[in-house]
């Protein structure tokens, strides 16, 4: 079945770049997404990429998609303490359903 995998933890220093990685299994996914969840809150859509794109940049965020390897990454430039959160990768499957990864907890140290 469909599956999305992420590493569970990432720790970086303030000002460094963060790279969060994700692998997925469904090669027919039309869109792939990154969501951010702060403690006690719901999921906030950060960005998404259409499956025929290799890269998408949005201010400090860069998404890279390698369809051959089914690998998606999110790079956050100049990471700030306010970026500390859990980041979820997700792929869309048939009819608007999403499959989520387990989430990567990003810790930003001053």
Partner 1 sequence: NAGVTQTPKFQVLKTGQSMTLQCAQDMNHEYMSWYRQDPGMGLRLIHYSVGAGITDQGEVPNGYNVSRSTTEDFPLRLLSAAPSQTSVYFCATVREDTDTQYFGPGTRLTVL
Binding site for partner 1 (CB under 8 A): 4, 8, 30-31, 33, 35, 41-45, 48, 88, 90, 92, 95-103
Nearer to partner 1, 95 or 110 (CB): 95
Contacts of 30 (CB under 8 A, 6+ apart): 50, 51, 92
Task: Tell me how far apart the alpha carbons of residues 79 and 68 are, in angstroms, rounded to a whole number.
Answer: 29
Here the tokens at position 37 are 């969840």
Q: Compute the least distance from the CB of residue 110 to partner 1, in Å.
A: 27
Q: Compute the least distance from the CB of residue 37 to partner 1, in Å.
A: 9
With H, G, I as helix, E, B as strand and everything else as coil, classify residue 21.
strand
Nearer to partner 1, 47 or 84 (CB): 47
Q: Compute the least distance from the CB of residue 78 to partner 1, in Å.
A: 26
């Amino acid at each position: 079945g469909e599956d999305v995998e992420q590493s569970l933890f990432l720790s970086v220093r303030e000002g460094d770049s963060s790279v969060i990685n994700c692998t997925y299994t469904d090669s027919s996914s039309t869109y792939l997404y990154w969501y951010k969840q702060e403690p006690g809150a719901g999921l906030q859509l950060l960005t998404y990429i259409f499956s025929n794109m290799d890269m998408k940049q949005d201010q400090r965020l860069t998404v890279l998609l390698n369809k051959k390897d089914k690998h998606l990454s999110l790079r956050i430039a100049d990471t700030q303490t306010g970026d500390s959160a859990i980041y979820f990768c997700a792929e869309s499957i048939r009819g608007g359903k999403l499959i989520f990864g387990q989430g990567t907890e990003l810790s930003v140290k001053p």
